Amino acid sequence: MWNGGRSHDRGHPREGYPRRRCSPDDASCLCERQHGNTDAYPRRNRAQHDLRRREGRQQFDDDHRRQRRRTQAAFQQPDRDERWPEGRWPHRVRQQRRRSEYHAPRRAGHQHEAILHQGHRARGTDRAARGRHAAGQHLRERHRDRFAYVQCVGEDVGAALLYRDKFSARELMGVWPEWTGGIAGTWSGKAVAIALGLRAAIDEETGWHKSLSNVPVAGVTGMSKDVHFDLQDMSTDAGLLNAGHVTTLVNMNGHRFWGNRTFSEEPQFAFEVAVRTSQAIQDEIAKALARFIDKPMTKGLVVDIVETVNASLRQWVSENRLVGGFCWYDPAANQEAALAAGRLVIDYDFTPCAPLEGLELNQRITDKYYAGFADNIAA
């Protein structure tokens, strides 16, 4: 009988020997592994044992082949341009960020994703940071709805600004110095991790149109470096860091991030909220237009698509998430051959809500409010 793979005194593991206790001097033992007694082994049990071994080996080989095929497919998958020439992606909504760039829409559920980059104070810091930035850039080319926060390395304000000058990307934002204390203690990269969590919370509670700056941060007690800050003086440490597009940390009625700028060289994407707004509305518009895919491309369908996008833009304007936006059909971008091939290009523009980064007050002293002073007393 099959013993279920127990120990030697109850039958050998993984083999179908009869359950029988034996000793080294037991001449009648049927255990061939212990005594080499193959003649006394029952023929029926031997056949069952061989059959089970062959079946087990076959199952192992089949599983191994399937895993190998999956691995090869993952590492040998052709690029999108090889699979679909001329940038043609079937069953996708293509959007135009700039007139020279086409890309697939954002997938739903990725509005809070971010890539954490942290510089370490060690030998080869710049090379390691650039490697992480290159990897993040590759991911952002594939998934443009990602945003990266990087810890600027430096012992003082000047070193942090020099570190920032080594990077240029609109989906990258630098933070200096580190948060300290709190429940989790002090550890390298804490400011980046808190920025990531706070960004997700702001997106969920307020919206993607609000920046990371000037929001109270819980769970910290201090900063790793002293940062001089004065709300009315731009020549302080915090002002210099913000002028160099580095987000810093301040203590003003509670600990807060202070800064709105990314590492972008494009003025349109200088603010964090401009990048996040661009990413978010592409996600939402793509989801709204998914129901139009594979429908007959008629004039009515094109009008419905344009009106759907304009309705979304009007809603965001009414919710104060956008300043304005408009969608239209451009005949010059839709040639007859392209339309006949099932390709449609729709244009839309938008204006994100810029953060109030600089507030200037002009103070005047006057005596005009003394006019009619006696009349006011009599009244």
Could you read off the pLDDT tens digit of each residue along the chain, which spans 379 residues? 444 444 444 444 444 444 445 555 555 555 554 445 444 444 445 666 666 667 766 777 777 777 777 666 655 544 444 444 444 444 444 444 443 333 333 333 333 333 333 333 333 344 444 554 554 454 444 445 688 899 998 899 999 999 999 888 889 999 999 998 876 677 778 899 999 999 999 999 999 999 999 999 988 989 999 999 999 888 999 999 999 999 999 999 999 999 999 999 999 999 999 999 999 999 999 999 999 999 999 999 999 999 999 999 999 999 999 999 999 999 999 999 999 999 999 999 999 999 999 899 999 999 998 888 888 787 6
pTM flag (> 0.85) = no
Note whether 3 and 110 are same-domain residues: no
Note whether 70 and 111 are same-domain residues: no
Return the C-alpha torsion angle 281, 282, 286, 289, nearest 10. 60
173 φ, ψ (degrees, to nearest 5): -135, 130
Note whether 160 and 236 are same-domain residues: yes
| 316 in any annotated domain | no
Whole-number pLDDT of residue 71: 66
Note whether 68 and 145 are same-domain residues: no
Q: Kindly give the interhelix angle for 299-318 and 272-289, rounded to the nearest 10 degrees.
A: 140
Whole-number pLDDT of residue 298: 95
| 368 in any annotated domain | no
Whole-number pLDDT of residue 47: 64
Whole-number pLDDT of residue 36: 52
The kind and range of the H/E element at 238 are helix 237-243
| 88 in any annotated domain | no
Choose one of 77, 94, 124: the last residue of a domain.
77
| 72 in any annotated domain | yes
Note whether 108 and 21 are same-domain residues: no
Return all residues near 155 (Cβ < 8 A) that are at least 6 apart. 225
Identify any residues that bridge with 250 across adjacent strands, giving them in sequence order: 256
Note whether 153 and 259 are same-domain residues: yes
Can you give the residue range of the structural domain that contains 29?
1-77
Choose one of 272, 305, 322: the last residue of a domain.
272
Whole-number pLDDT of residue 31: 53
Tokens representing 292 are: 């139009």
Note whether 134 and 262 are same-domain residues: yes
| 325 in any annotated domain | no
Note whether 111 and 172 are same-domain residues: yes
Q: What is the C-alpha to C-alpha distance for residues 37 and 44, in angstroms, rounded to an integer?
A: 16
Note whether 121 and 1 are same-domain residues: no
Number of domain units in the chain: 2
